[in-house]
Structure 1
Amino acid sequence: MHEVGQLRDVTMLAVPKVGRVQETGSVSLPYRLLDRDGGEVAAVSEFLLDMLANDDSPASLRSYAYELLAWFRFLWAVEVPWDRASRVEARDFALWLQTVKKPPRPRRPDAPPPGSINPVTGKRYPGEHYAARTRRHARAVVRSFYEYHRETHGRPLLNPFPRARRAEDEHLNAHHNPMHRFRQPARRAPYQPKEPRRAPRGIPDQAFNELFAALPSHRDRALVAFYISAGPRASELLGVTRDRVSPGDQTIGVVRKGSRALQWIPASSDAFVWLRLYQQQIRPLALDGPDEPLRRPLRPPSYDAARMVFTRTNEKLGANWTLHDLRHSAAKRMVRDPALSITDVQWVLGHLHVATTEQYLEPVQDEVVAQILAHHARQAAEPPWPVMPAPGYRSEVLQTLLGTAVPSGGPA
């Protein structure tokens, strides 16, 4: 236990990259955490098994396992057992995530600096430090891990990551003065990073046309056309097979990420045309089974493979668009159509709550700037209003004197 009065300097803390997340290939427990000696961390395996029983996806288990790996590496570095961690370790872990740099990735010499802004898209490249959203997710994972063991085994007695003080805040307005404003309860828990709220950023129409023209193959054009017209998530579209494509109804069947329910969503006719053109290219290949993939090689594609489609195209354009930008763009296009209701867009996008869809109603900075500049241009193009006569002269007197008509309604 860290003694009172001794402050740990996290900037000087060396956290070794020991331990790892192992993919087991087992349905009963797809992932497990191994410690620095190669042994299984039983507390983490039990927590992941509970997640699996709650019908969480293997992808969620993998994400949680890696977040817990970072937490256990930190505890191993400060030599504190996981069940003896206190709020001091939680605080220092939050500070460490703020200061530590992400593991470096192989970069080309001409690659843009981390954290810089792309001149084509206006989007910022990932920085060297962990983003606020990443740190918020890490805190939520570790807190849920301790909350599970606290409720199941009764230890530790206190969660190192406390929740927001909502219980105390319930009595904030018990004796409220009607002449004063209501006091707002605390919404942010301790050690929870502040995350700026940003409106979803889509791809402008002109930029999308340039992006689509730079795609090298019919396969890539079909993928992008389905993304921009139907708005599915990347993993949802990549899992579509031949039996879930209905050109007659102009719909495709996607398995939703959260509910895992099959939903048939409409797509544009252009997307089916590009798909058919690609199928004609691979016609010599046998595509007999209804569960065969829609592209070659004949195996389910991965997200990294689809991401490389954008990586190659971005290199040509000098941009940094992502696959998820296509989903944002599709949502933006649909909400701009007055013939579509917000609930229609919610159903197509597969959002559980309509409030999630309403974020696409918020104006984007580029759109607002363009509209304001157009407003100034219209103001400059309008003819100036004639100057009203000076006070003290009646309009009919000026008309008789000058022989010209003046605007009516001037001062008498």
Structure 2
Amino acid sequence: MARVQRLCFADRPDTYRVVGGDQLPVAPAREYLQFLADRGASPNTVRAYAYGLAAWWSVLEHTNTAWDDFPTSLFGQFLSYLRTGDLPGTARIGDPEPGMAESSLQPRGAAVLSMYRYFADAHDLDRPYRRLFSSHARTSRSRYAPTLSGIGPQRDRDVPLHRRRAPSRTETPVLLPVQVNAILDGCSVQSASGEWTGSAAGLRDRLFFAVLAETGMRMGEALSLRHNDFHISGGGTPSIAVAGRDDHPHGVRAKSGARRIYIGDDLVALYSEYVWQLVGWGADIAVDDLATHFVFVNLARGQRYAPLRPETIYDKVETIRTARADVLPQNWTPHWLRHTHATALLLSGVREHVVMRRLGHADVQTTLSIYGWVTADAEMRSVAEWKNYVAGWKVSHDPTS
């Protein structure tokens, strides 16, 4: 079975490669993943494509098929393997495992199609490309829906022979206020005496999830924050400046352009307490310039005060999932807090163009296409007190967020 191997470096972001059953790097996959990295693809994209290529090579190895000479039907078997976990020709005993979600299947399939498109363009390797693509576009009158539509970018009139319908996304996942509070309390809780409970990293984790919930930032944007991005003094409305950065040593990115997001007093107090704890631990001495250093740093493992890895956040998510399985959906991710933020604002009456600027969308149509269902679902107003939930967020004073 092929697998993905992560390569860690001290002076540049991590990268990934595919290792075959012989424990040697798979040369075509390595070349294509390097091409993606050189083109400026995000580390998350490289990682997702690496897992897709590893699954493809597992199918190739299992069927003893050459990577550049395979039957067209093998790609359909590959998709079936992604959905069921059963390799071609394998008989299952017992109930099947839960299949891969369509949202995860899409980048896996796109990785294979895009790799063969790359080799067709870069090396004139047309034979495998023609096994996967047709130069004759199907007419809209066809009665039959292909099995893999929408995977991979289109080139000229070529379309994948195996196509699938894009999954329906009529609603984005939402966490109710009680669930958001369960996430925050799963990190650290303030006692009656004012002390914060939990480990040294507990307050940091609570601040991280609170930032996502109250600002709608993407995870990469939050991890890229510096202390001088917080503007909480001087008499003005407290705010956080989101800068378009791509210099995080672990490859996370602030995808949207620069913007200012106004915040409430509770988040200001939480951040201030976190900074005081950092100073109490000597971070201002250990770090050359704390003001320009990353807000979210290692406190419990790894190099102390080094920028936090996204894997650390996902480990915390898993811990909270296990501890609060009675309250939280088992498949929640940090990005749900962004969706929850946008949903809460819309349900509390904030205009769409304000939500657009706060989230960093390029245009209001993007916001409407993702969250248009929210304003149509008036019944959600009775599910929770959304206006109270956003009462501390000073969006009404935010001309640019």
Do both share a fold (TM > 0.5)? yes
1:346 is aligned to 2:318 = no
Moved more, 245-254 or 28-37: 28-37
1:200 is aligned to 2:172 = yes
Query: Quick one: which amino acid aligns to residue 265 of structure 1?
Result: I
> What CA distance in whole angstroms lies between the structure 2 residues aligned with 1:28 and 1:234?
16
Question: Residue 25 of structure 2 is aligned with which of 27, 36, 40?
Answer: 40
Aligned to 1:98, what secondary structure does the other structure show? Answer: helix
- What is the CA distance between 1:275 and its match in structure 2? 0.7
Per-residue displacement from partner, 1:2-25 (whole Å, max 9, x unpaired)?
Answer: xxxxxxxxxxxxxxx245435263
> What CA distance in whole angstroms lies between the structure 2 residues aligned with 1:370 and 1:331?
14
Question: Residue 68 of structure 2 is aligned with which of 61, 83, 100?
Answer: 83
Residues 230-241 of structure 1 mapped to structure 2, 5 A cutoff: 230-241=215-226
Query: Does 1 or 2 have the higher relative contact order (CA < 8 Å, sep 6+)?
Result: 2
Are the equivalent residues in 2 in contact too, given 1:212–1:221 (CA < 8 A)? yes
Residues 164-203 of structure 1 mapped to structure 2, 5 A cutoff: 167-169=137-139, 190-194=161-165, 195-203=167-175
Moved more, 138-147 or 211-220: 211-220
> What CA distance in whole angstroms lies between the structure 2 residues aligned with 1:199 and 1:244?
32
Query: Quick one: which amino acid aligns to residue 131 of structure 2?
Result: P
- What is the CA distance between 1:292 and its match in structure 2? 2.6
Are the equivalent residues in 2 in contact too, given 1:150–1:159 (CA < 8 A)? no
> What CA distance in whole angstroms lies between the structure 1 residues aligned with 2:353 and 2:377?
26
Per-residue displacement from partner, 1:218-246 (whole Å, max 9, x unpaired)?
Answer: 43332232111110112221221222222
- What is the CA distance between 1:337 and its match in structure 2? 4.2
**Equivalence for 1:304:** 311
Question: Residue 267 of structure 2 is aligned with which of 271, 279, 283?
Answer: 271
**Equivalence for 1:62:** 47
> What CA distance in whole angstroms lies between the structure 1 residues aligned with 2:268 and 2:134?
49
Are the equivalent residues in 2 in contact too, given 1:232–1:327 (CA < 8 A)? yes
**Equivalence for 1:140:** 110
Quickly say closer, same or farther: Cα 1:132–1:28, change in 2 above 3 A.
closer
- What is the CA distance between 1:313 and its match in structure 2? 4.0
Alignment length (residue pairs)? 322
- What is the CA distance between 1:291 and its match in structure 2? 3.3
Unpaired runs of at least 5, structure 1: 1-16, 103-113, 116-126, 174-182, 373-412
Question: Residue 239 of structure 2 is aligned with which of 244, 250, 253?
Answer: 250
**Equivalence for 1:100:** 85
Quickly say closer, same or farther: Cα 1:213–1:39, change in 2 above 3 A.
closer
Are the equivalent residues in 2 in contact too, given 1:143–1:160 (CA < 8 A)? no
> What CA distance in whole angstroms lies between the structure 1 residues aligned with 2:380 and 2:229?
42
Question: Residue 205 of structure 2 is aligned with which of 204, 215, 220?
Answer: 220
Quickly say closer, same or farther: Cα 1:99–1:259, change in 2 above 3 A.
closer
Moved more, 318-327 or 185-194: 185-194
Residues 386-405 of structure 1 mapped to structure 2, 5 A cutoff: none
Matched residues, percent identical? 20
1:357 is aligned to 2:370 = no
> What CA distance in whole angstroms lies between the structure 2 residues aligned with 1:370 and 1:335?
10
Are the equivalent residues in 1 in contact too, given 2:49–2:107 (CA < 8 A)? no
> What CA distance in whole angstroms lies between the structure 2 residues aligned with 1:162 and 1:308?
40
Question: Residue 5 of structure 2 is aligned with which of 10, 16, 21?
Answer: 21
1:326 is aligned to 2:323 = no
**Equivalence for 2:346:** 335
Query: Quick one: which amino acid aligns to residue 300 of structure 1?
Result: P
Are the equivalent residues in 2 in contact too, given 1:222–1:275 (CA < 8 A)? yes
Query: Quick one: which amino acid aligns to residue 132 of structure 1?
Result: E
- Give the TM-score normalised by structure 2: 0.68
Per-residue displacement from partner, 1:297-352 (whole Å, max 9, x unpaired)?
Answer: 212112232234444444146223432221111111222343x4323222221234
Aligned to 1:169, what secondary structure does the other structure show? Answer: coil
What is the RMSD computed on CA atoms of the aligned residues?
3.7
Per-residue displacement from partner, 1:90-131 (whole Å, max 9, x unpaired)?
Answer: 1221222222169xxxxxxxxxxx99xxxxxxxxxxx73211
Are the equivalent residues in 1 in contact too, given 2:51–2:108 (CA < 8 A)? no
1:160 is aligned to 2:144 = no
> What CA distance in whole angstroms lies between the structure 1 residues aligned with 2:120 and 2:177?
52
Unpaired runs of at least 5, structure 2: 88-94, 151-159, 189-195, 197-202, 246-252, 300-304, 384-401
Quickly say closer, same or farther: Cα 1:134–1:313, change in 2 above 3 A.
closer
Query: Quick one: which amino acid aligns to residue 295 of structure 2?
Result: L
* Larger Rg over CA atoms: 1
- What is the CA distance between 1:214 and its match in structure 2? 5.0
1:286 is aligned to 2:271 = no
- What is the CA distance between 1:61 and its match in structure 2? 1.7
